[in-house]
Amino acid sequence: MKHRNLADATIAALISVFREGEVASAAVERTIALQTKWGKRDRNQFAEAVYEIVRWRRLFEFAAQSEDEWALLGAFIARQGGELAAWPEFDQLDGEQLRARLAQTDLPRAIQESVPDWLDAYGQEQLGERWGEELHALNREADVVVRANTLQISRDELRAQLRERNIESHLVEGVPDALQLASRPRLNSLDLFRRGAFEVQDAASQLVAPFLEVEPEQNVVDACAGAGGKTLHLAALMQNEGRLLALDVSKDKLDELDRRTCRAGVNVKIARIEKQILRDSRAFADRLLLDMPCSGSGTWRRQPDSKWRLNPEFLARLQETQRQILRDTTPMLRPGGKMVYATCSIFPSENERQIEAFLAQNPAFELEAEHTISPSQTGFDGFYMARLRKR
């Protein structure tokens, strides 16, 4: 990173993320949109610098012996094998010293894998020996995976049309509608994307909707729809037939879902979740998806900033929120219907333990199947899903 304007933009984005709490992806996209004169190489260098500094914040703080954003940028440049520019912000840094500290192999795991001390202890308590493997896997950069919108196009047709646009991809074993891209193109500028032929969605996330075992003509509720990635997948699996209701507390997310449904050409009723809807929908659903708010620990490969926003108090409140959502929404499921409880977390406190407690208190439900997706074993995001049947 030899160009001052790239460095200044990187520092501004890091300050927004670390000091102001902006989501890293939003900071990157906002900055790139403003820098109309940047070429592809500039955009890629900037995005890589921001994400890698956010990902390795703790390690870079150790190497630079400083929390200053310029010091972290210096550590990043040193790790990449570059030379520090003759800028006053780098006057107190020594490239060789930075590289020597970064190369140390006897650092505590919390520093080496770049997480807060409390989170390292929490992960060890939750996962035991598996924690180190999962944490290491979650520090790898995520692949770009897309899902073919089978209402418009098959996966093989999508692959061929992407190749015509010089975008190579390969199939993902066990995920029938997924393609893993060989590069990182600006997908939102593609005509295929604008007309809804595909959605960007990690392979693990693409396994959730099929796990619900939906069929055409069913009544299906996605009660924690968010911006609707899984909602759109459900619509495709239902072949756009039946009644699909997408609910969430966030108006902004539902507005985004509305835009995505129009692009994808799917039939979905979208509404803010409230007591009246819960009452009106009692025993309505043949299938119920609860894609729970969670720690997001399984998505640190693509959202590394989320690990710096966690704290024990937040996790405790989050788990109570999950229990409350289960209490409020499960009456929507009719007898004989099925529901899936899913999170993008790797922590049992948000997953198996929540289901065990729910089943103990709700004998009308029985566990049919559960599935844990390990980042270290699959290279996918970390996910948990449990399918329950109402007797």
Question: Is 344 an active-site residue?
Answer: yes
CB atoms within 10 A of CB 57: 24
Element (H, E) at 340: strand 333-343
Instruction: Count how many residues are written for the chain.
Output: 391
User: CB of 54 within 8 A of CB of 13?
Assistant: no
Sheet with 333-343, side-by-side order of all strands: 269-272, 243-248, 219-222, 285-291, 333-343, 383-390, 365-373
Question: Which residue type is seen at 285?
Answer: A
Helices 95-102/57-64 angle, 10° precision: 130
Question: Of 224, 262, 294, 344, which one is the catalytic site residue?
Answer: 344
User: CB of 342 within 8 A of CB of 298?
Assistant: no
Q: In the 3-class helix/strand/coil scheme, how is 124-189 assigned residue by residue?
A: HHHHCCHHHHHHHHHCCCCCCEEEECCCCCCHHHHHHHHHHCCCCEEECCCCCCEEEECCCCCHHH
Strand partners, 50: none
Q: Among all residues, which ones are annotated catalytic?
A: 344
